[in-house]
Amino acid sequence: MTLATPYPTQLDFEGSPRIARWRPLVHWLLAIPQLLIANALSTLRGVLTLIALFTVLFTRRIPRPLFDAIAMTFRYEWRVTSYALFLREEYPPFDFQPTAADDGVDPHTLVTFTYPDQMSRWKPLIKWLLAVPHYVVLLGLIIAAMFVVLVGFFAVLITGEYPQGLRDFLVGVYRYNLRVQAYVGLLTDQYPPFTLHTG
């Protein structure tokens, strides 16, 4: 399903499906420093989103520097996640450029957010409720993704290649999750589509 108008939050992944067979055994260990930083940035994002809530309620806008900083936390998280799930061999960069558009530092990932000029004043109060159907879908997708990661683990160990369909599914699940988070996290008022695909 392709959207007529691109959704304001875009996520993509590029990279060779060839992965060294030993990588799944140590990726989790190599990713620990990055995962710690991503966790700290997630906490920061919670604080920034709370501030954004009040700016939207009172001004119907998110200050651009605040929006860009929140976007950076999501981008960093995706770069680390794509590495931790051994979808790629290259170590993600320690990059903290606050920008809504992807800065191109990591050629394997793309995470871009479209800055909204104005937002609904009342939607921040009910977005979490409107997103409940997406939470139900995400629960099923995350359970399926855990099995896919397990199959991918053994596929890489045995063949040295991540099956394209499995990798596309994981990227799609993360894209879906990111769109829901961006909606609930006040980065857009556009309701997220029920699709794993780009658009």
Residues 40-76 have pLDDT tens digits of 999 999 999 999 999 999 999 999 999 999 999 999 9
pLDDT of residue 6: 87
Evaluate whether residue 194 is within a structural domain: no
Q: Is residue 2 part of a domain?
A: no
DSSP 8-state code for residue 88: -
The whole-number pLDDT of residue 1 equals: 47
Structural domain for 156, as ranges? 9-184
Q: Is residue 173 part of a domain?
A: yes
Within-domain flag for 20:
yes
Domain assignment present for 157: yes
- Count of domains in the chain? 1
Burial classification of residue 7, based on how many CB atoms lie within 10 Å of its CB (0-12 exposed, 13-18 middle, 19 or more buried): buried
Low-confidence ranges of the chain (pLDDT < 50): 1-2
Cα–Cα distance for residue pair 118/185, rounded to 1 Å: 15
Q: In the block, which residue shows the tokens 């990279």?
A: 15
In a domain, 24, yes or no: yes
Per-residue pLDDT at 4: 59
107 part of a folded domain? yes
SS3 of 18, please? strand
In a domain, 196, yes or no: no
pLDDT of residue 199: 72
**pLDDT given for residue 103 in this prediction:** 84
- The predicted pLDDT at position 176 comes to 97
